[in-house]
Amino acid sequence: MNNASVTLRLLDKADKEILKLPRAVKGALYDFQHKFKTNPQATGLQLKQLKGDSRLWSARVNDEYRALLLRLADTDWLIVSLKHRKEVYENLDRLSYGINQVTGAIEYVDLQVVEESVLRRVSPARPAAPERPVPEQTRPQPQPQPQQQPEPTRPEPLFARFTDEQLTDLGVAEPLIPVVRTLTTEEQLLGLVEFAPQLTGEILLSLFDGKSYDEVLEQVTAPVAAPEPVDTEDFQAAAERPATMVTTTDEALREALEGEDFGRWKVFLHPTQSKLVERDYSGPARVGGGPGTGKTIVALHRVKHLVEQLPPGRNKPVLLTTYNKNLAADLRTRLLELGGEELLSRVEISHVDQLALRVVREAEPGNAKQTTDDNQVLREWRAMLDELGETNWDADFLHDEWTQVILGQAVASRTEYFRARRAGRGRNIARAERAEIWQLAEKFTQRLDRLGRQTWAQVAERAARLEMEREGRIHAVERQREEAGGLDNIHLQDGSAGRLRYRYRHIVVDEAQDLRPGHWKMLRAMVDHDRNDIFLVGDTHQRIYNNQVTLGSLGVNIRGRSAKLTLSYRTTRQILGSALGVLEGESFDDLDGNQETLAGYRSVLTGAPPALHPSQDWESEREEIAELVSDWNDIPLEQIAICVPTNAMAQEVAFTLAQSGIRAVEIGPDGPRGDEGVHIGTMFRFKGLEYQRMIIAGVSEGLVPRNTVLGLQHSDALRYRRELQRARSLLFVAATRSRDALAVFWHGKPSRFLAPLLTE
Ligand SMILES: Nc1ncnc2c1ncn2[C@@H]1O[C@H](COP(=O)(O)OP(=O)(O)OP(=O)(O)O)[C@@H](O)[C@H]1O
């Protein structure tokens, strides 16, 4: 045996066993992997084949513990479990392993562990359906109710309507079928899911939640099915498939064995995630998917993958960008965790406005304008309209029109504006009205100029123009080179042009749904049209700013390179069902003018349904919130967040909490303004964030959506619809931030968006 090249890997779920072990055993395991890789045959390791079995081996970790290993090939080993010495050698038939015939993944099951987990959950009095009904999308099939008779009949098994063959065709691990047949309650099913291979859990929960066989086949199985026929004897080929979730590098193995804070996201990507990370795309690619499906995780791994393909160097040819400063800081932290300083040193991380501002400053070093946020700009619009005595147009409308149509499409003249497309902008506007708007927009631009201010939309638009001009110069140089017959013998007219290159080789964008058209044009011009040029992740259901774009029209052609993640790693099935209810009836785009749905969006995590808290008035609501936060004293305050409709309400909640002695920090545009305390902010601030428990407060009619939105219903029906959708998306984002618990508060009349939750 060639000891120098021993491969040792860890199968997913074995890490969960390891996490539960005493610290000393983990330490021993760490030493074990080192010794094993040096020489598996070393006597101290007592490597031996388990009786009657060709692939399953055991090795000594310490006096008490043994590692169970699958021998994939001569020098290729896979740790599948870690057990107490006494548990390893009895009843070996219970240890089952094989290659899933649908996905080609290696699966390992300890039937005894699964059976015990199911038995622990036996609770005969409980019906099979979840404790509380959930909305239609995730509603389980009607289940038989327990009989009222003194002699209860046995409840029907959960999966009686499916044949064994159907279950295995979907990808359920074959050795588990007999146990699956015994399940009669949701609790038991959850017991099985805990120790079953990942796919088995996903399939069974989807069926349990009411999805049809065909839906599960399409949404759960097909995305992970092996593209080629599966050889169920070829373990080494199976180990290389994305469907087999294993550690692939020594470092990842060490981390998984070591880590108290071991991040599974760093190592065990879902097969659908890893395929997207590793794919070679012929041009810009997009990954969509509901909240918590790991889009950011995929973006981070994609960056790592791209960096690994780069030739050695010291520059930063990869740009990772997102919507705001806070999220960019978070990306930096996580990228560092994923790949250390070495990875970070090849990646530029900037939020997109910062990037645009840098481009503008670089081109106009004298530009000392102050950049103003949307609220200030709106105030300025109002002030101008007041001064002009203008009552035909309201500030919000003009601001949106200026930002989205005039700046968004880089409209440069009145004539161009007459012709500009106003798709999705609400009511039609006649030519004479356009002339009025154009004049007001010009006045407003001059006013800002005089004040020495600029808006972020102006910066984005300016940066886009500058970058496009720059790209034009790059093309001109290339043409010169070609005409001169090569690089060496050319005489460049512009001395600087020789150094002029695209700024990046690859661009990765998170939170893509909220970028402005100007941002896209700028990014497009920063990278050559080449393989793997732009990779963007985002979810239009979470679009909370009015920046609807059609990427194709901005030069970012994602057609044919669009994919979707559907398994939530954050939100429980209960919260997910309620959150989907909030979006009911709306339709969403795919960033490229087509429709996008959340079909297949699911979770295997289970928890309590959202708690609903009606209150008399705002004051009592705040007091009840303070009480709930005091009750949640089993977790750090920073893991709790409170989300409210307005800034004023955020301050009021913070005040009430302070009176109860609870520390709180507000989340500003750049993130939390302090380290300690419950996080409080408006719904806008929670984009991309995640908390253990979440309170959404003030979900009252008139606040969510705002009265001003409701007022548009008769004056501007299209804009009303759009604003209503945006308000729904805001609530959807807020509701999907929590991992464990969600509490919804309101006073007076509940928001119309809560109707699906209240009628259950
Ligand atoms: N393969 C994985 N293994 C373990 N955890 C994962 C995995 N993928 C994602 N997660 C976890 O799920 C959570 C959500 O991931 P992430 O933030 O990437 O989702 P997202 O799709 O970007 O969410 P949102 O759209 O709500 O911002 C995070 O806690 C992340 O660590």
* 688 DSSP 8-state letter: T
SS3 state of residue 376:
helix
Q: How many CB atoms lie within 10 A of CB 213?
A: 17
- How far does residue 543's CA lie from ligand 1's centre (Å)? 18
ipTM > 0.85, yes or no = yes
Tell me how many helices (H) and strands (E) the chain has. Answer: 29, 26
What's the pLDDT at 315? Answer: 94
pLDDT tens-digit series, residues 100-134: 999 999 999 999 999 999 998 865 544 444 433 33
- In whole angstroms, what is the distance from residue 199 CA to residue 107 CA? 10
- In whole angstroms, what is the distance from residue 617 CA to residue 750 CA? 12
**Tokens (6 digits) for 565:** 């993640």
Question: What is the Cβ-side half-sphere exposure of residue 293, based on CA atoms within 13 angstroms?
Answer: 26
- In whole angstroms, what is the distance from residue 238 CA to residue 233 CA? 9
- In whole angstroms, what is the distance from residue 534 CA to residue 568 CA? 24
**Tokens (6 digits) for 105:** 């993944």
Query: For the chain, which ranges sit under pLDDT 50?
Result: 1-3, 125-146, 490-497
Q: Which residues are annotated as a binding site?
A: 289-296
Q: Say if CB 624 and CB 611 are below 8 A apart.
A: no
Bridge partners of 535, per DSSP, are: 285, 508
**Tokens (6 digits) for 1:** 């045996």
Cα separations in angstroms, 70 against 41, 48, 75, 88, 198: 15, 11, 11, 14, 18
Question: What is the Cβ-side half-sphere exposure of residue 470, based on CA atoms within 13 angstroms?
Answer: 24
* Residues 504-529: b if buried by 16+ CB within 10 A, e if exposed: bbbbbbbbbbbbbbbbbbbbbbbbbe
- How far does residue 705's CA lie from ligand 1's centre (Å)? 28
What's the pLDDT at 125? Answer: 44
What's the pLDDT at 486? Answer: 63
Q: Any residues with Cβ below 6 Å from ligand 1, and which?
A: 264-265, 268-270, 273, 289, 291-297, 539, 542, 569-570, 688, 690, 736
Q: Could you write out the DSSP letters of every residue in 84-110?
A: EHHHHSS-GGGEEEEE-TTT--EEEEE
Ligand 1: which atom is nearest the Cα of residue 510?
22
Residue closest via CA to ligand 1's atom 16 equals: 294
Radius of gyration of the chain (CA): 29
Identify the CA nearest to 356 among candidates 407, 296, 422.
407
Residue closest via CA to ligand 1's atom 7 equals: 265
Q: Which of 268, 278, 296 to mutate to test the pocket of ligand 1 (most atoms within 8 A of CB)?
A: 296
Q: Which residues are annotated as a binding site for ATP?
A: 289-296
Q: What is the torsional sign of CA 546, 552, 558, 564?
A: positive
Q: How many CB atoms lie within 10 A of CB 356?
A: 28
- How far does residue 595's CA lie from ligand 1's centre (Å)? 24
Ligand 1: which atom is nearest the Cα of residue 687?
27
**Tokens (6 digits) for 551:** 């990427």
Which residues have a Cβ under 8 Å from the Cβ of 355 and sit 6 or more positions away?
319, 321, 463, 522
Which residues have a Cβ under 8 Å from the Cβ of 276 and sit 6 or more positions away?
285, 287, 298, 302, 563, 565
- How far does residue 739's CA lie from ligand 1's centre (Å)? 11
